[in-house]
Structure 1
Amino acid sequence: METTIRGEALDPPVIAAGVPIRLSAAAPSLWRVIDATGRVIGHLQALSFGDGIRYRARRFQSATRAFLDLGDFWNADDAIECLRFVR
């Protein structure tokens, strides 16, 4: 069962060297993923599951004015790669 990590100020995940993105805090356990040009390409959300923390890749869909969950990943790097390459 998933639960959001509420009120806990988590440090941003460490990003693999050479990945041309940066993270900007949006809320506790939520970060904007910003590419090298300064464009927000999505959000990275930390979620607590019974067996550890997973990272959800989310992208805003302007047509529906809602976020689309792209998937849950065991590490932040995989979630970020999903946001980078699923456009």
Structure 2
Amino acid sequence: MSTVIEAGQSRTPRLTSNPRVHLVAAAPALWRVLDHAGVVIGHLQGVPHPGGSRFRARRFHAPSHAFRDLGDFWSADDAVECLRFAR
């Protein structure tokens, strides 16, 4: 299931593939991805795209004090899976 992200929209995408991971709103079109223990494993960002909305998986890199983009995906579930396996 893919949720359309319009400019300024902040509706939390519904994850269908992994019930042990959930999203918490951090800003408009930006969500923290938490694992089953409540640990932040990354961020999910809604990104407008000419072919429809995309979801960007982002992870904080402590040594550089910056976020790193792991990729853009057509579904929130795919972006979250990328965060789960890129640990």
Q: If the TM-score is normalised by the length of the shorter chain, which range does it land in?
A: 0.7 to 0.9
TM-score if structure 1 supplies the norm length? Answer: 0.88
1:35 corresponds to 2:39: no
Higher strand share: 1
| Runs of 5+ consecutive residues of structure 2 not aligned to the other structure | 1-5
Residue identity over aligned pairs, in percent, reads: 52
| Runs of 5+ consecutive residues of structure 1 not aligned to the other structure | none
**Displacement after TM superposition at 1:51 (Å):** 1.1
One-letter identity of the residue aligned with 1:15: L
Q: Which runs of 4+ in 1 moved over 4 A?
A: none
Residue of structure 1 equivalent to 2:13: 13
- Residue by residue, what CA displacement relative to the aligned partner does 1:20-49 show, whole Å, maximum 9, x if unpaired? 111100000000000011100000000001
- Would you say the 8 A contact 2:17–2:77 is kept in 1? no
Give aligned pairs, total. Answer: 83
Please provide the CA RMSD for this pair: 1.6
TM-score if structure 2 supplies the norm length? Answer: 0.88
